Amino acid sequence: MDVTITKLEISFSVHATENKEKNLQAVSNLIPSFIIEQAQIIEEKLEGGYKNPIRYIRLAITKANLIDKVMKSLSSKLSQEDKKKLNLEFESRIDMKKKSFFLRLDKEDLANNKISLASTKNIVKVSLKIRAFTKDVNLKEFLENNGIL
């Protein structure tokens, strides 16, 4: 199949009452810490309600071998129930213009070494930037073959 993931981005917010290192530790339950160390880390400082400081952290991974390792980890840790849910919600989770697929994982569950989909505000967002080398490519099939759906 002429499809590849060119960028994997993991992002989350760290509120004033949270610890950045604990959040990174939670993310390391999703992907190995040696990959986090090789990722490009971008930190934005935002202001929340009541002028509370919020840090928005993005980890960008663009090396193919590291993306493969993260995909295998994610595939092995997602439950069959969550994969079915992603499959059913495929159309609402993909941006066909940007060729990106999105998942939202529960940040508290990640801290407890469990991976589960979430729709709450306390999430870790995973974005997969997909590149197709041919015009008529089945992105859903690609994600199924990679164990995400």
pLDDT at 51: 86
149, part of any domain: no
CATH number reported for the structural domain that contains residue 116 in this entry: 3.30.1440.10
For the full predicted model, state whether its pTM sits above 0.75.
yes
64, part of any domain: yes
28, part of any domain: yes
Range of the domain at 110: 3-144
DSSP secondary structure letters along 67-115: HHHHHHHHHHHS-HHHHHHHHHTHHHHEETTTTEEEEEEEHHHHHTT--
> Which amino acid is residue 119, in one-letter code?
S
Structural domain total, the chain: 1
The pLDDT profile of the chain, 149 residues, written as one tens digit per residue, is: 588 999 999 999 998 888 888 998 999 988 888 998 999 999 999 988 888 899 999 999 999 999 999 999 999 999 999 999 999 999 999 998 888 999 999 999 999 999 999 988 889 999 999 998 777 778 899 999 999 99
80, part of any domain: yes
pLDDT at 41: 93
47: helix, strand or coil: strand
120, part of any domain: yes
